[in-house]
Amino acid sequence: MTWTLDSVTDVIGMVLILCGAILCLTAAIGLLRFRDLLTRMHAATKPQVLGVLLVLCGVALSKEGGLHIGTLILVGVFQMLTIPVGAHMVGRAGFRTGQVAPSDIHLGPSKDHADASRGDQAVDGQTPAREDAAPEDGTS
């Protein structure tokens, strides 16, 4: 059995389409199974965009001609531009309507955690005096 370039690209295209379809399926299952708005929003954006892009790449490999590929590139660009903006608007609307509690949003480590992880460095860049260190004037 000899493999031509067309058959190899068709097989790679089918694998990409299958992987993209599986990612889109997991995104749909995540939308149904997750509890709160933020996790559903994550499921609707991250795997969905990657799944659609994989499907588009698979279709581009199986099609011949620049017009099809140009159209697929436009669809991919619009997906990458609109889905994150839509997710941001959904999250913002959920926060404003009380669907998302402010305690559910974790933007990074807390101030206490950040100070503890820095060790001896203070916020203003100076090294704080240690309690167990001797005073500088030599008195104890």
Distance between CA atoms of residues 7 and 21, nearest Å = 21
CA 50 vs CA 19, 46, 58, 103, 127: distances in Å: 10, 7, 12, 29, 46
pLDDT of residue 76: 93
The better pLDDT of the pair 85, 100 is held by 85
The answer to whether 79 and 45 have CB atoms below 8 angstroms apart is: no
Most confident of the ranges 29-33, 97-101, 119-123: 29-33
Residue 110: predicted pLDDT? 62
Q: Give the pLDDT confidence score for residue 48 in this predicted structure.
A: 87
Higher pLDDT, 123 or 91: 91
**Confidence label for 117 from pLDDT (cuts 50, 70 and 90):** low
